[in-house]
Amino acid sequence: MMFPSTQYVLGAMTRLTGVSILLLALWAVGGTGIACAADAPAHPEALILRRQMINDPFINKDAYSVMAPDKWKVTGQINWVPGRPTPDVYIVASNPDNTVAYQQMPRLFYEANVRENRDYMFPAQRSTNAEKFAEGQTVGLMNAEIRHVPASPKEYLLKILIPKSFPGMAKAPDFKVVGETDMPDYAKAAKEHDPLHRENMAARVRVTYTTPKGPMAGEFVIVLTMLPLKQAMGVGPRPEPPVTWVANTQLCRAPADKFEASLPTLAGVQSSVQVQLPWFNIMQQVASEVLTALQEAEMKQLVDFGKSILKNQEILRKAAQEKSDLVSREIHDKFAETMAAHDMMQTREMHYITNTGNYRDPQTGGLLNLSEDYKYHFTNGSGLFIETNEPNPAGFAPNELKSMDRVN
């Protein structure tokens, strides 16, 4: 068996360590502080929302809570991908006929300038590198997709995400972009709460298209985070250094004629997505152990990726079963930073949202972005929320509901 050179292993270690640190850093930032913007007409009826839980069957704990209107369906997947120390999270909250929905996409990982740097490190392998490391291929234990860094979030949306993740939208003959808004304040806030202070690009992109159910409108909010990696030694002209970049995307969608009216509700759903401390505690412990295992795998020069991935998956399962429910001070601090980042991003996003306001949830202490079309906002402290124009909503006992405080 031919083992990779020390130069290759050090390059892989740099990439693995950098990406893993970025993964943990992104968990500290939170990644759920994005809401869709709206100018919406008044709603005459009261709106009742309930908190629902998303369970991680792998750890066997509730991972996230989501607030959604009565009769809406909330689904989620916590997917532990072999080779990654933290899981993918996918959340959907939709009305009964699935025409109005909020979607939080999993973080997607990409690597840029891979082939150029492989050619630089291993010039004798240029002929095989062209195919092996072409755009769209995956690379490394992280299974990151090889893609050049897009010039903007809009380019990422149109050229990478929609064709791959939203084929129906991509095939719609009348699909078009009808609006684009850069979000520099939001990108700055994301950088401020990133322990590595990486550069970000953020934008809202609104689209229209037609489905069998009729004309639709959607608004994507995309945040791209860049992690330049250390360049290994090579031969010849030095290319641009390798870059790992991560895409966080959320989508609000509704029938075109109901889009504006639906957005305050969707903003409320989005703002309510919150990680749960007991799950966060175990996840952080597992992530630390898997990261160590991945580093050891690289140091041992394991080139049989299939065996390596299976080994890491077994380590992951064992770690999840053995981790302590006791929360260390370090994890408490990370969780507090996650919640603080959620509130900061929520507040910063207010620059882009109209007709909504932030209200404090007395149960969790977090901020919820709720519609200002309603005069009163109540909660029973047990996961039930009511937006209404009535000071004393019918059907509730005296003192059962508590008024929520507006924060800004």
Measured distance CA(286)–CA(120) in Å, rounded:
36
Closest CA to 390 of 70, 69, 68, 45: 45
In the predicted structure, residue 313 carries a pLDDT above the cut 60: no
Burial class (CB in 10 A: 0-12, 13-18, 19+), 360: middle
Measured distance CA(372)–CA(394) in Å, rounded:
20
pLDDT of residue 151: 95
Contacts of residue 223, defined as CB under 8 A and 6 or more positions apart, other chains included, come to 31, 34, 153, 186, 187, 190, 200, 201, 202, 247, 248, 249
pLDDT of residue 294: 61
Per-residue three-class SS string for 9-66: HHHHHHHHHHHHHHHHHHHHHCCCCCCCCCCCCCCCCCEEEEEEEEEECCCCEEEEEE
Whole-number average pLDDT of the chain: 79
Q: Which residue has better confidence, 368 or 301?
A: 368
Q: Is residue 165 very low, low, confident or very high in pLDDT (cuts 50, 70, 90)?
A: very high
In the predicted structure, residue 15 carries a pLDDT above the cut 60: no
Sketch the domain layout of the chain as residue ranges.
1-408
Q: Is residue 353 very low, low, confident or very high in pLDDT (cuts 50, 70, 90)?
A: low
Chain Cα centroid distance, residue 9 = 30
pTM above 0.85, yes or no: no
Give the model confidence (pLDDT) of 58-85 as tens digits.
Answer: 888 999 999 999 899 999 999 887 767 7
Return the SS3 of 151: coil
Give the model confidence (pLDDT) of 356-407 as tens digits.
Answer: 788 888 877 778 888 888 889 999 888 889 999 998 888 888 888 999 888 8
Most confident of 1-10, 99-108, 306-315: 99-108
In the predicted structure, residue 34 carries a pLDDT above the cut 70: no
Q: Is the CB of residue 316 less than 8 Å from the CB of residue 290?
A: yes
Name the packing angle between helices 277-299 and 329-349 (round to 10°).
110
In the predicted structure, residue 7 carries a pLDDT above the cut 80: no
C-alpha Rg value of the chain to the nearest Å:
23
Give the model confidence (pLDDT) of 234-268 as tens digits.
Answer: 888 889 999 999 999 999 999 999 998 888 889 88
In the predicted structure, residue 99 carries a pLDDT above the cut 80: yes
Q: Which residue has better confidence, 39 or 85?
A: 85
